[in-house]
Amino acid sequence: MGLKKILTALLLVAVSTGTQTFAQTRPECETPGEGPAAREKGKSGFLSRFTIGGYGEAVMTYNMYSDNFGKYSSPQAYADSKGHGRFDLPHVVLMLGYDFGKGWSLGMEVEFEHGGVEAAVERENEEAGEFEKEIERGGEVALEQFWIQKSFFPQLNIRAGHIIVPVGLVNSYHLPTQFFTVYRPEGEDTIIPCTWHETGISLWGRAGDWRYEVLMVAGLNSTFFTTDGWVHDGSASPYEFKPANQLAGAFRVDNYSVKGLRMGLSGYIGNTFHNDITTNTSSQYAGVRGMVLIGAFDFEYNDHNFIARGNFDYGLLSDIAYINRRNSTQNHTTSSPYAHSLVGEAAMAAGVELGYDFFGLAPKIKNQKLYLFGRYEYYDSYIPAEGTTLNDWTNRHRIAAGLNYYPIPEIVIKAEYSHRFLKTPYNPEPSVSLGVAWSGFFK
């Protein structure tokens, strides 16, 4: 295959992914197969059916606390530590979509996290021509969405492939123009996968003031659960495939009955034990399921120059003693991908943010917005079972305040001060951040 064909194929993949993200996060936007290309008569060419978009963020942060790995195990030793600065590209995403006609459409999203990955094999001439592997930049490159959809009518659509699991506020509304903070809201981003994407099938539609979606996807893997992230890493797979010994179900329902207000309810259920490339056949693990249950409520109000958003998420994990025993005895070689971490019986995240557009008070300032915002959130990624190990440093309160300036609707410049409060004797964690972000469609 020639280079031109390869690049064309990659472009198609990226566009389709992005289209689904925008469709889920902004239901008023058109999805592939429902947009202008599908409606315009006499247009059957490639470009008329093709959609391309994306989003991205560039961030500068100064954290006024230690970044040493021992800051929670020996907090007193780092009470007076100097801060540390970071530059970051949290997410850069290319989204592509294509309308095949007759209700069939394709969606894709390719994401570069934290600048992508620069890895190569190089020959070191000064070392007798020895070949070495070089990692010049960290980060990740991921195909976050790749799906085929059949739309029968607005109330009924079927989507199959690699899709977003729309549980919680951030997974459903994760574009940088859809939250005030410089980084994605911490609570949900800590305890559940964000952005959560799995291979599976979904049924969705919208009727009047209601939108629904139900999904069947591959289950999580309990061997990757952690103290500081609960089930966050359970959706990942270090292999060339995703083990699917266990399947899971998810749903989301949104209501738009009140002008300017959207309310959403979502949930997830699935077993996670024995969902690896090998299973433990020992009799002590017979009947162990490791069931994850997650329930979430979220809302957004956008009217009269105000935007208010909030979420509450709570999750439970069964068979916690067996999971912790299994994870502590997993392969501990240096090449092992497993977390070897204790995990809590439950986790929770709650947050609310409020912003006011002061440019809304000046009618002469058009197509620009300036929001002064504040945010509060509480989250705990490790709520232990009774009688098990405590880790109070996972119990956190966080406040943030700052500005969002939109010179045009697709671009936002953000400034923020935040302060994370931890229980005694752990040290507080203040920081300041600046960021610029964009999201939109090019065609």
Structure tokens at 104: 């069939």
Does position 366 have pLDDT exceeding 80, yes or no? yes
Does position 33 have pLDDT exceeding 80, yes or no? no
Give the pLDDT mean for 122-130: 53
Domain 3-119+133-441 has CATH 2.40.160.10: yes
Residue among 167, 155, 237, 164 at smallest CA distance from 200: 164
**What band does 118 get if pLDDT is binned at 50, 70 and 90?**
low
Q: Can you state the percent helix, strand and coil of the chain, rounding each to 5?
A: 15, 45, 35
Structure tokens at 309: 């958003």
**What band does 132 get if pLDDT is binned at 50, 70 and 90?**
low
Torsion of CA 442, 20, 371, 399, to 10 degrees: -140
Kindly report the average pLDDT of the chain as a whole number.
86
- pLDDT value for 136: 62
Give the pLDDT mean for 367-380: 97
Q: What is the pLDDT of residues 209-220, one digit of tens each?
A: 999 999 999 999
Does position 335 have pLDDT exceeding 80, yes or no? no
159 DSSP assignment: E
**What band does 269 get if pLDDT is binned at 50, 70 and 90?**
very high
**What band does 114 get if pLDDT is binned at 50, 70 and 90?**
confident
- pLDDT value for 174: 93
d(CA 408, CA 160): 35
Q: Which of 14-18, 151-155, 177-181, 377-381 has the lowest mean pLDDT?
A: 14-18
The dihedral of CA 382, 385, 391, 393: what is its sign?
positive
pTM: 0.85
